[in-house]
């Protein structure tokens, strides 16, 4: 399994479906935004072959060349998104979910009406610039994984019940049902109504907050001189210490001191029904591989097991009727060794699914293969109360 994002280039194209006019093109190389643009002739050819298929009632969704994977997707017969990736071992599942997130970002910041009823192409191009920062964050190497899993990145605070109680009280006091507390793009606590937001809203909102620069213009809470001069202090002043304790949780996601096996270099825990996940590549002080490499390995492994091995996730396309008889044969655990094939070397990756929870672990080369499933089962049991 190759490490995606190390050298490959990704090009994202957005076109008006009816006219084929390009609305924007965003690119990245090695997980870093790039200015490289595709020639207009290439853009026209990619859109032309897609439209040619549609005219023949053939839906062209993906194609592969020797070194590039291409995925097309149309939204509301108005917007066509095309992504080309030369990253090693890229699967269509990853690119399909990228396009879903990109269109969700466009709707979030521009509105569906503007995208489905295009009156002025040049004006729409200008309006779409507001979404570039969020869209570019999907193309670069990120510490988050919700763009791929379509589950909300979460952290587990040491005093979660106190924060949840304060958040619910604050939401009631200000008269809103949708409130969340976010650190580094990850949700610490949220109201019940916020959790009922659909996909991709619940993923996009904290991702948007995490993509903003430190000095970006934004709304600030204010004290109303007569109506609520002490509202914020009432709810949050007593909880300053628990709030400060959330700040270092971002990359680790788990409370300090949470017991994990020393062989674990990274983990991804998903609750597929709640659409929430815990993702960390910093559970230990080991130096190799780097955090960036760990994230790439786990993202690639998640894409592989989701596309190839595990049953469809809730909300995804249901399995074919003819495959239903083979349900008993659907795997619930799998592993692979990444890197050299020499005995005792190579990073170990193991995935285990039990009920609505799916756990992926990245383990050190010293971890014995015969013990992978037992280690994963023990870790999943320990993490279950958290998510």
Give me the torsion for CA of 303, 308, 313, 319, rounded to 10°. 150
Query: Between these two residues, 160 and 81, which has the higher pLDDT value?
Result: 81
Predicted pLDDT of residue 340: 63
Tens digits of per-residue pLDDT, 319-348?
A: 444 444 445 567 789 888 887 666 666 889
Q: What is the CATH number of domain 259-313+330-386?
A: 3.30.450
- Range name among 166-170, 292-296, 317-321 with the lowest pLDDT average: 317-321
Average pLDDT over residues 251-275: 88
Strand runs labelled E in 111-203: 152-153, 180-183, 186-190
Tens digits of per-residue pLDDT, 32-73?
A: 878 777 888 888 888 888 888 777 777 888 999 888 999 999
Predicted pLDDT of residue 10: 92
Q: Which fold has domain 9-141?
A: Beta-Lactamase (3.30.450)
Give me the torsion for CA of 129, 130, 131, 136, rounded to 10°. 70
Q: Whole-model pTM? A: 0.83
Predicted pLDDT of residue 341: 60
Range(s) for CATH 3.30.450.70 in the chain?
Answer: 9-141
Question: Which residues 6+ apart lie within 8 Å of 291 measured at CB?
Answer: 143, 251, 281, 282
Query: Does 215 have pLDDT greater than 60?
Result: no
């Amino acid at each position: 399994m190759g490490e995606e994002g190390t050298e490959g280039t990704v090009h994202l194209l957005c076109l008006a479906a009816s006219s084929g006019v390009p609305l924007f093109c965003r690119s990245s190389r090695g997980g870093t935004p790039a200015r490289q643009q595709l020639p207009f002739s290439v853009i026209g050819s990619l859109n032309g072959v897609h439209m040619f298929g549609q005219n023949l009632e053939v839906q062209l969704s993906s194609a592969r060349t020797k070194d590039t994977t291409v995925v097309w997707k149309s939204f509301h017969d108005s917007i066509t998104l095309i992504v080309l990736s030369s990253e090693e071992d890229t699967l269509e599942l990853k690119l399909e979910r990228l396009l879903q997130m990109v269109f969700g970002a466009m709707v979030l910041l521009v509105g569906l009406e503007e995208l489905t009823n295009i009156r002025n192409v040049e004006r729409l191009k200008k309006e779409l610039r507001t979404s570039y920062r969020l869209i570019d964050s999907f193309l670069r190497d990120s510490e988050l994984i919700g763009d791929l899993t379509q589950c909300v990145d979460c952290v587990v605070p040491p005093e979660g019940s106190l924060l949840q109680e304060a958040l619910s009280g604050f939401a009631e006091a200000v008269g809103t049902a949708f409130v969340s507390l976010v650190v580094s793009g990850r949700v610490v606590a949220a109201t019940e109504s916020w959790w009922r937001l659909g996909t991709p809203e619940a993923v996009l909102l904290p991702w948007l907050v995490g993509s903003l620069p430190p000095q970006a213009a934004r709304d600030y809470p204010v004290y109303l001189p007569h109506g609520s001069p002490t509202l914020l202090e009432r709810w949050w002043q007593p909880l300053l210490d628990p709030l400060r304790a959330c700040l270092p949780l971002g990359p680790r996601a788990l409370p300090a001191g949470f017991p994990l096996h020393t062989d674990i270099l990274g983990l991804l825990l998903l609750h597929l029904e709640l659409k929430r996940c815990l993702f960390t590549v910093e559970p230990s002080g080991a130096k190799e591989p780097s955090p960036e490499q760990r994230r790439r390995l786990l993202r690639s492994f998640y894409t592989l097991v989701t596309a190839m091995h595990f049953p469809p996730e809730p909300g995804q396309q249901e399995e074919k009727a003819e495959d239903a008889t083979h349900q008993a044969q659907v795997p619930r655990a799998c592993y692979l060794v990444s890197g050299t094939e020499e005995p005792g070397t190579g990073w170990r990756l193991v995935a285990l699914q039990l009920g609505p929870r799916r756990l992926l672990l990245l383990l050190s080369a010293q971890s014995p293969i015969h013990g992978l499933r037992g280690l994963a089962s023990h870790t999943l049991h320990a993490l279950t109360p958290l998510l």
